[in-house]
Amino acid sequence: MIKLLIVDDSNIIRRKIERSVSVAGLTIVGTAANGVEAVKMFKQHTPDLVTMDLTMPEMDGLEAVTALLALKSDTRILVVSALADKTTAIEAIRRGARGFLCKPFTDKELNDALVELLEFDVR
């Protein structure tokens, strides 16, 4: 079982991701509305996969990426953000996030991104 944590400050996006995820073996273990909550949920569930919004209150996505990777360095983080956030997305990738999904996205795009994240092996 692969555990997925959804982090997004938007209720709508969180629900959309929850509804749309249909990858075999993937189970959603929790959702968080900001970085602080994300870290709490992460410690509780140690997910393998995290979808991460970038602009959030309390602790933003970039800090959260750093914090989660400090907890478990092989966590695969998918940055889910608007295209306008490209600079921030690049920064997130520099910090160790593995993928980038542009808002708005279709169900297929989301699932493809998750599958790719799972399949892409790190050399």
Interface ranges with another protein (CB under 8 A): 86-87, 89-91, 93-94, 98-100, 102, 116, 120, 122-123
Looking at the Cβ atoms of 35 and 99, the one nearer to another protein is 99
Q: Which residues pair with 27 in a beta bridge?
A: 3
Q: Can you tell me which residue has the tokens 């695969």? A: 76
**In this structure, what DSSP letter does residue 25 have?**
T
Query: What are the helix (H) ranges across 54-106?
Result: 61-71, 86-94
CB of 106 to another protein, least distance (A): 15
Q: Which residues pair with 51 in a beta bridge?
A: 6, 78
Looking at the Cβ atoms of 28 and 93, the one nearer to another protein is 93
Looking at the Cβ atoms of 15 and 94, the one nearer to another protein is 94
CB of 90 to another protein, least distance (A): 5
CB of 56 to another protein, least distance (A): 20
| Structure token pair of residue 36 | 């602080």
CB of 15 to another protein, least distance (A): 25
Q: Give the whole-angstrom CA distance, residue 7 versus residue 24.
A: 20
Q: Give the whole-angstrom CA distance, residue 70 versus residue 75.
A: 10
Looking at the Cβ atoms of 32 and 118, the one nearer to another protein is 118
